[in-house]
Amino acid sequence: MTQRNSALNDRHKALGSKLDGDTWCDMAVPWSYATDPDDEVVAVRTRAGLIDMSAINLIRVAGPDAAAVLDSFVAIEVPKLKPGTARLAVEADEKGAVIDDIMIIRDGRDRFRITHGSGATPQQLADAAEGKDVDIQVDRDTHILSLQGPAALSILDPHTPLDLEALEYFHHAETELFGTPVVIARAGYCGEHGYEIYAAAADAVHLWDAILDRGRGRGVMAVSWTALDILRVEAGLLFFPFDMPEGDTTPWEIGLGWAIDGDKRARHVGKRGIRSACGKERVKQAGIACRTGRAVEPGARICRDGEEVGIVTSAVFSRYLMQSLALVHLKPDHAALGTKLTVADGAGEVDAWWCRSPSTIPCACARDNGAPETAIGMQRLGAAPPLEMRAGMVANPKEVRTSMNALRHGGHGIDRSFA
């Protein structure tokens, strides 16, 4: 496929990114800036950070049959989606295995946008549209700027006529921002209050500069994709296909049952397979906290009492939380809150604990007094992680902070023979 380029490339280079050929969906992205990724993470968690998400694939689908075409290959009821809203949908093959990560965005009665990963969506869409009254356009112009963090609302709100505070999650609206036509969506990939701004390529630099200019005095930073990887693992958000191997993972195994309308009557690709796979999960998606000062390696084996019971799919070291975190696949009968595990990779063995999400401190999970269950929540209240979780951790690890290096250089493959 033809190489795509962000209109913000000069800005990324000025911030220290090499844009050295590593691509996502055929677009070079800023894996790093001159700033420390850990500082960028702190900016998002405590103030705000700006991310260029323009590499995400975007397709426009319009026409009288648009809703029916989309409805024919996803597990949600697309016709029920209201204009101005969006929803994550499961896209599966006939076996019921996930084959792409897709968000369906409804702009009007017969107008949709879909964003998707690197999987089968284009072919699925082309097959479904054959003989239908629908127009499909791959959008290579629209850029997506994502401002995430607790200060995002106060930074953007004075510069748009839209009432951002009233905009609900997964809702969007056409408006202006800094005098420029945009679509603003309440969404993000960091587990923070934030907004995604859809704009023409010709306006991307103006918006990028304006947002950073307004936020600079408040500590707002540009955020690299290495920092984004840390943020999304902290929040327990999956990355296709690394946390859900294409064609080999059912939605039930990765906690995406909520992205399936079980009572959907209309036929769709994968319907029978999805239903058949329910209750037959080989693995369960989980998060673990590891007792080490580094990121464990993706593909690392997970054992319990000498038995291999799982595998690491993504891993980071979060300096903000002072924890080594990982997304993992575990045998279902070993995925219980607080279960002690051992992770074995090329650097050795480390102790780990199953937690509700990667940002959950296991020994704080059983609280019934209204206290926050996540490490992020505890950090904001000024509480430190328990000593038993901090033991052996270093304050500023410089080696293997994130698994993104392994992901971007060919991935690591998920050997789930243990299941």
Q: Which helix (H) or strand (E) holds 277?
A: helix 271-277
Task: Kindly report, residue by residue over 317-356, the tens digit of the pLDDT.
Answer: 999 999 999 999 999 998 777 889 999 999 999 999 988 6
> What confidence score (pLDDT) does residue 356 get?
67
How many residues are listed for the chain in this entry? 419
Note if the bond before 241 is cis, omega within 30 degrees.
yes
Residue 196 annotated as lining a ligand binding site: yes
Q: What are phi and psi of 68, to 5 degrees?
A: -65, -40
pLDDT at 413: 61
> Is the Cβ–Cβ distance between 345 and 339 less than 8 Å?
no
What does the block give as tokens for 319? Answer: 């300096």
Low-confidence ranges of the chain (pLDDT < 70): 1, 21, 356-413
- Write out the H or E segment, with its range, that includes residue 138: strand 135-138
Confidence (pLDDT) at 80: 97
No. of H helices and E strands in the chain?
Answer: 11, 19
Instruction: Enumerate the H helices of 188-254 as residue ranges.
Output: 201-215, 225-234
Give CA–CA dist 136/125, Å, rounded: 9
Which phi and psi (to 5°) does residue 201 adopt? Answer: -55, -35
What's this model's pTM, rounded to 2 decimal places? 0.88
Which residues are 60's β-sheet partners? Answer: 113, 137
Would you state the pLDDT for residue 417?
A: 74
According to the model, what pLDDT value does residue 1 have? 61
The values of phi and psi at residue 258, to 5°, are: -70, -15
* Tokens (6 digits) for 416: 């789930």
180-185 sheet: strands from edge to edge: 172-177, 180-185, 194-199, 143-148, 49-52, 221-222
374-387 pLDDT, tens digit per residue, is 444 333 333 333 33
> What is the pLDDT at residue 58?
98
104 and 170 Cβ atoms separated by less than 8 Å: no
Question: Per the structure block, which two tokens stand in for 189?
Answer: 């990939």
228 close to 189: Cβ distance less than 8 angstroms: yes
Quickly count: other Cβ atoms within 10 Å of residue 50's Cβ: 25
Asked if residues 54 and 61 have their Cβ atoms less than 8 Å apart, the reply is no
Q: 237 with 376: CB under 8 angstroms? A: no
Structure tokens at 217: 């005095």
User: Can you list the domains of the chain with their CATH numbers?
Assistant: 9-54+142-232 (3.30.1360.120), 284-419 (2.40.30.110)
CA dist list (Å): 96 to 224, 246, 250, 274, 282? 34, 11, 6, 4, 13
Neighbours of 186 (CB within 10 A): 21
- In order, the DSSP letters of 336-380 are -TT-EEEEEETTEEEEEEEESSTTB-GGGTT--SS---BHHHHHH
Q: Distance between CA atoms of 154 and 282, rounded to whole angstroms?
A: 45
- The whole-number pLDDT of residue 391 equals 32
First to last CA, the chain: 35
> Which tokens hold the place of 19?
């844009």
